[in-house]
Amino acid sequence: MLVTARSHRLLLVEDDAELRDMLTETFADEGYLVDGAPDGQRGLHLGLTRTYDVMVVDRMLPALDGLALVAKLRARACTARALMLTALGTVGDRIAGLDGGADDYLTKPFELDELSARVRALCRRTTESADALRIGPGLLDLSLRDVQLPDGTRVGLSAREFELLRMLAARPGAVHSRNELRCRVFDEAAGSSIVDTYVYYLRRKLGRDAVKTVHGLGYRLGTL
């Protein structure tokens, strides 16, 4: 297995089961953490409830087509790089895909090596453009998955603490409801109090002002 510097999370939305299985195995062998979805609705659910670095999305999908899927995820502040994979290869189709929120566009049939290279390039763009998110005078380091406090001290975070803080830091002025945070950061079966518990954990590690409570609405990013 080729292990990347950090295991990038990849969402693969493809209705052709044979192709989806083959690509899932290929990307997993290259070191990616891969989730597969057979249709647009399942892809939308995964995109809203989990955090990905890259999405490979077939354009012609049942339930919800690829363009609509990417547009809906972009509207919910999903920052994963998106590669549109499709048999529709005219200039107009490519323009529509790129204007619709995709970062790259590859037509079928394709060479597997080229697809892999394009996904690696998108991962590099993700890493280079967003190595850290600012939290007031502090930083959330996306590669090391920890927080650098204003005095230079680094504070380690659990996986769930990191994902919760990352979601808040990606839109620092936005207020997120408890239900939104629960659905996008934690498992579907998680109880309604799970968000409050992890906000408590973050405040205990980073200070009470790290996460602000907006009474009656939810939480937003604070400062360190």
CATH of the domain at 215: 1.10.10.10
Q: Looking at residue 4, what is its pLDDT?
A: 42
Structure tokens at 55: 């999405």
Structure tokens at 97: 């895909």
pLDDT at 53: 85
* Angstrom distances, CA of residue 47 to CA of 52, 70, 105, 173: 7, 9, 19, 22
Residue 188 to residues 7, 46, 181: CA-CA distances in angstroms? 23, 11, 11
Q: Provide the strand spans (E) within 128-186.
A: 132-135, 138-141, 146-148, 154-156
For residues 94 and 177, membership in a common domain is answered with no
Residues 122 and 155 in one domain: no
pTM here?
0.59
Are 101 and 28 members of one domain? Answer: yes
Given a contact cutoff of 8 angstroms between Cβ atoms, the answer to whether 86 and 66 are in contact is yes
**What domain range is 16 assigned to?**
9-129
Tens of pLDDT along the chain (224 residues) come to 343 435 688 999 999 999 999 999 999 999 999 999 999 999 999 988 887 889 999 999 998 999 999 988 877 767 788 999 888 777 777 777 777 778 898 988 899 999 999 999 888 776 554 567 778 778 888 777 889 888 778 999 998 999 999 889 887 778 888 888 888 888 766 787 999 999 999 999 999 999 999 998 999 999 88
Q: How far apart are CA 144 and CA 53, in angstroms?
A: 15
